[in-house]
Amino acid sequence: MELKCRTQWPMCASYDEDAKFRNSDWNNHFDPNNGPRIVMHDTSNIPLPQPSSGDLNRALYNKYYSMCCAKAGIAVQLCCWTYGLPLVAGHSDDNQQIEQTRMLQLQKLFSNNDSKRSDKDFFNIFDKGCHLLLEALKHDQQCWQPSRSKDGKQFGREKVLHTGCVAVVRSGNERGVKRCKLSWFLKRGCVDQLWDIDFLCDVWEAFTFRVNFMKNNFQ
């Protein structure tokens, strides 16, 4: 029932809905009338058992989480509307995850269909592991992410300030990820036995949709 309901809802909140329902503190950073259409992206993991097949092990193993897992993407707008990206294999990096789920294309399609503000394209806030600037530009979108340190060199003043500003905005998505992992089933994953993957994907998409209607959301 939840998945059927999910198909009847828009993927994202419209520009005007986002401006209306978000915490007013965000208006100090982003103009609610003519500012960008912000969406914050982050990832988490859903544990999976270690398969005996070498090929499957390689496909599911994630170095960051040091385990075999499904990689779960979470997109959160400033109004706290949360969208759980389809699960991908744990070995996929952040770039591959966005490409495999076709998020940039779907966001472009959504903004084009937002009749009142179709001129406002998404402004993606990624972690530093994502390198999709050119890909985003192809879909009339922009990216913003923390600065990266090369060869262990210290940041200069401008990079420190830039990274701090990004961190302030992305903190909203950290709370979104925490909410999506409240599910006992998703937090525990399939460590004892490998459940049907389609069922696991359904639980993920249903619960991340349910998060939007929980009382006292995470603004």
Average pLDDT over residues 125-146: 82
pLDDT at 85: 94
| Bridging pattern class, strands 82-84 and 61-62 | unpaired
Q: Where are the domains of the chain?
A: 2-213
pLDDT in tens, 50-75: 888 888 889 999 998 999 999 999 99
The confidence band for 219, taking pLDDT boundaries of 50, 70 and 90, is very low
Higher pLDDT, 112 or 148: 112
Reference 94, options 151, 136, 139, 152; nearest CA is 136
- 3 state SS of 76: strand
Give the whole-angstrom CA distance, residue 79 versus residue 143: 19
Backbone angles phi, psi at 89, to 5 degrees: -65, 145
Cα 62 from Cα 180, distance rounded (Å): 20
- Residue 200 structure tokens: 């696991």
C-beta of residue 82 within 8 angstroms of C-beta of residue 214: no
Picking from 152, 145, 11, the residue whose alpha carbon sits closest to that of residue 82 is 11
pLDDT surpasses 50 at 41: yes
What's 70's DSSP letter? E
